[in-house]
Chains A and B, each alone.
Chain A
């Protein structure tokens, strides 16, 4: 069980939204984690690689800074072992490549640009997430 934290959730969410707006203001680019990661591991050109790797370095440093200066140590361990994380990771990798985006690209950016594609994607991936957790936890039962 996790505690319902509407205030920190909305504040953190607002920071993600502000980050997306700032990236748009600075460069007209879309803050989608799928595109950013893919441009780093499968580089297209130097400029594209450079801004994306810089963005990822910033992302990774953030929880470190919160740990060092605010004593915040978030839990990142799921309630199951590595095999389930790896299986899910591969499926996510296939999915976001086919869908050209994930929660940030379609959810925070695409919806804000009133993209029908993004709306369709968000409705479908959220529904699939609810269905998957229902099946894993309440039909197959294995806990987690």
Chain B
């Protein structure tokens, strides 16, 4: 039952990525291309998503002490900006600009049954795994 609920919420996410056009790397790359044929659509995707969630989270948190099905609302977010966050964000933006896919768009894009999103997701997982290994190595070296 629970897994069905999570699948439905993921389905809604995937519908949003597809309908918004973010599933298409060309639209993403043209959004980043201010000096070319700029396509501002992505601004409306992020703006629409943020606006709905900004209101939604407030309504939920004001009206409920605990979540509807399971778990707890997490404490207020950590506000610390450390070098690791900045470096990671730079690399994420660079990779996004190189490939035209971000993780949230590439996962639904797998459902289009084309090999390009698959290449991206496999490479993404390789990059994640490599970084986890290096971070673990650094932690155990300290």
Contacts and interface: CB of A to CB of B under 8 A. Distances in A.
Nearest to B43: A9
B141 interface: no
B37 A1 contact: yes
A45 interface: no
Given A9-B42, A9-B48, A17 B53 contact: yes
Interface string B101-114: 11111111111111
B137 interface: no
A92 B61 CA distance: 32
Contacts, number: 499
Most A CB contacts (10 A, CB to CB) among B33, B43, B64 go to B33
Contacts of A1: 30, 37, 39
Interface string A35-76: 011100110000000111011111111111111000011111
Contacts of B98: 84, 87-88, 91, 132, 136
Interface residues of A, number: 115
Interface residues of B, number: 119
Contacts of B30: 1-2
A36 B102 CA distance: 13
Interface of B: 2-27, 29-30, 32-37, 39-54, 56-57, 59-60, 64, 66-74, 76-81, 84-117, 119-132, 135
19 contacts: A9-B44, A11-B48, A17-B54, A19-B9, A24-B53, A28-B73, A59-B11, A66-B15, A82-B115, A85-B101, A89-B99, A93-B124, A95-B91, A95-B92, A102-B92, A102-B104, A120-B86, A130-B32, A138-B36
Interface of A: 1-6, 8-34, 36-38, 41-42, 50-52, 54-67, 72-79, 82, 84-100, 102-104, 106-118, 120-122, 124-134, 136-138, 144
Given A89-B99, A95-B94, A103-B96, 13 more contacts: A2-B39, A14-B51, A54-B3, A62-B12, A72-B18, A79-B29, A84-B99, A86-B123, A92-B96, A93-B124, A96-B124, A120-B86, A137-B36
